[in-house]
A and B are shown apart, each in its own frame.
Chain A
Amino acid sequence: MTLFFQKALECEPVEQRRARQSERLRAAVHRAYERVPLYRRKFDAAALTPADIRGLEDIEKIPFTVKDDFRAEYPFGLFAEPLEKIVRLHASSGTTGKPTVVGYTRADIDLWADCCARLLVNGGATPKDVLQVAYGYGLFTGGLGLHYGGERLGATVIPISGGNTKKQLMLMQDFGTTLLACTPSYALQLAEVAQEEGMDLRNLKLKAGFFGAEPWTEEMRQQIELRLGLKALDIYGLSEVIGPGVAGECLEQSGLHVFEDHFYPEVIDPATGRPVPDGTYGELVLTCLTREAIPLLRYRTRDITRLDATPCPCGRTFRRIARLTGRTDDMLIIRGVNVFPSQIESVLMRIEQVEPNYLIVVDRTGVMADLEIKVEVNEHLFSDEVRKLEALRARIASEMYSVLGLHAKITLVEPRTLERSVGKVQRVVFVDHKK
């Protein structure tokens, strides 16, 4: 029997929902135009007024919003409410310069909690469940997002945040955790340390996990499900839109339902900005239909996915997006070839027992870029015989070549020499000896 958090909304007939989405879009456009200088400027520059947007059918007229808009309006330029009405601020990691700042009114916090509760119930969660939130708590939206979702649902929330892996495992056992929320890499790290401690996670009460904040492959999902003994579900979100709670898989595990009554999705060709037909891959664009603090319009996420409007067996009528396999800016171009870290990860996971503790080193010293992939040798991979290790390395190299179409140097390294992190893992480093 499928469980829903807000059944009427989640299973609403599409046409009925569209009418409400159109109405909400009109309201969001008005709010943005009247209260956010950036949108006033964008509309004026396009000779547009809010009256020109009658509903969803006119959405393509609206100019896009991009990450740089957040940076240009730092810190509070995009807020449609005075700071007094903003009850929470979050900021994303910001790998270059200033972080991206987002704000929430009380109504936004409620909306966010509802969406995260939906996520959990997508995975079969009930108020009887015990949720271990191992996403970081703080300015990052992951921890608090799932926390509020869990509380809204009425589950028992363990706000453990990231790190302290041995303690996480101990509490997982002692508190009887049934639901786990963390990054997929951290899930594998928990499994690794559990193994070292002689703990079999499959004997615990874990039933589902909600993994996101970084792209992860089907192969990684299988590893996680096998080693932790739970259903591993993909969740998607980004702080610019709200945080986690934008989309999440149901137990069918075939696409992430977008909570489009609040976050309207489009998929565009990143080069032209034109929408692509359902089923074609492109860049995900999101519009916040109900957010008070930031009425974000047509935000280009730089995430690559495709839309699936076909009915899902679970009964939810929210369209689904495919698992995010890479970002338009994750992509590396090496000697003219497009390379996604997720491709490299797929190859490593396919080779029996290889855990994706790897590092991609792009060396731009010479005229042509060189690609090196450092792979940690764990006990499963290790062989006492040189020729077997050499054979392993050759096998990785040849499979990598067949997938990427270019030769990469494979270096076997000792375990724990590659940086481990709790949040998003830094998988690529650039080297330039000229500097």
Chain B
Amino acid sequence: MKVKQISLFMENRAGRLAEVARILGQGGINIRALSLADTSDFGILRLIVNDVDRALALLRTTGHTVSVTDVIAVEVSDRPGGLADVLGTLEKAGLNVEYMYAFVEKATDKAVLVFRFEDTDRALEVLRKAGVSVLDPATVYSL
């Protein structure tokens, strides 16, 4: 149930992001979700793609610094309060969210959110016990 997210180190220079998008595009990689964390000097680009291994190989051979991080794709009710409910569950269990971002696509009629937890295994356990729907990786990569 752990989804593999690709993270890339990027300098704050014009064209870096476009270059990555071009490399992935030319390599036939489909980006499913993305988020760009920025500081004044550099950024970290986080991607969910349809073919993790191929994307990693493409980015490494073109000299990028990449890493793979385990994240969880959670389904929440697509209505006001949907996010608050899930976060409430997490807060009660004392789980720390490092960052999160949303998918535009859906698997069912629920909204999909990507979470990075400090303790991924514990988070999976808490979510399971609370009956929160967690998507399996294969579904996520092809959303």
A residues near B (Cβ < 8 Å) are 196, 377-379, 381-386, 389-390, 411-417
Contacts and interface: CB of A to CB of B under 8 A. Distances in A.
Interface in B47-61: 60
Contacts of A413: 11
Best-buried of A378, A384, A389 by chain B (most CB within 10 Å): A384
Interface of chain A: mostly helix, strand, loop or mixed: loop
B22 interface: no
A411 B40 CA distance: 11
Interface residues of B, number: 22
Best-buried of B44, B99, B116 by chain A (most CB within 10 Å): B44
B37 A412 contact: no
B41 A411 contact: yes
Contacts of B139: none
Nearest to A417: B11
A302 to B, nearest CB: 36
A386 B39 contact: yes
A384 B7 contact: yes
A383 B41 contact: no
Interface in B17-55: 37, 39, 41-42, 44, 46
A390 B44 CA distance: 12
Contact of A382 (B9, B39, B99): B9
Given A378-B65, A379-B67, A386 B37 contact: yes
Given A390-B39, A412-B42, A384 B67 contact: yes
Interface of B: 5, 7, 9-11, 16, 37, 39, 41-42, 44, 46, 60, 63-67, 69, 98-99, 116
B44 A386 contact: yes
B64 A384 contact: no
Nearest to B99: A385
B71 to A, nearest CB: 9
A415 B63 contact: yes
B101 to A, nearest CB: 13
A381 B5 CA distance: 18
Given A384-B116, A390-B39, A379 B11 contact: no
Given A412-B9, A414-B11, A417-B11, A382 B69 contact: no
A378 B60 CA distance: 11
A404 B69 CA distance: 36
Contacts of B11: 412-414, 417
The list of the 5 closest CB pairs from A to B, nearest first, reads A384-B7, A416-B63, A384-B69, A382-B65, A377-B9
A189 to B, nearest CB: 13
A303 B96 CA distance: 55
Contact of A414 (B37, B64, B116): B64
Contact of B10 (A378, A411, A414): A414
Contacts of B67: 379, 382-384
Contacts of A196: 60
A148 to B, nearest CB: 37
A415 B42 CA distance: 13
Nearest to B62: A416
A384 B99 CA distance: 10
Contacts of B7: 382, 384
A38 to B, nearest CB: 50
A384 B66 CA distance: 9
A383 B39 CA distance: 14
A284 B52 CA distance: 56
25 contacts: A377-B9, A378-B65, A379-B66, A381-B65, A382-B67, A384-B7, A384-B44, A384-B46, A384-B67, A384-B69, A385-B98, A385-B99, A386-B37, A389-B9, A389-B39, A389-B44, A390-B39, A411-B41, A412-B9, A412-B11, A414-B9, A414-B63, A415-B63, A415-B64, A415-B65
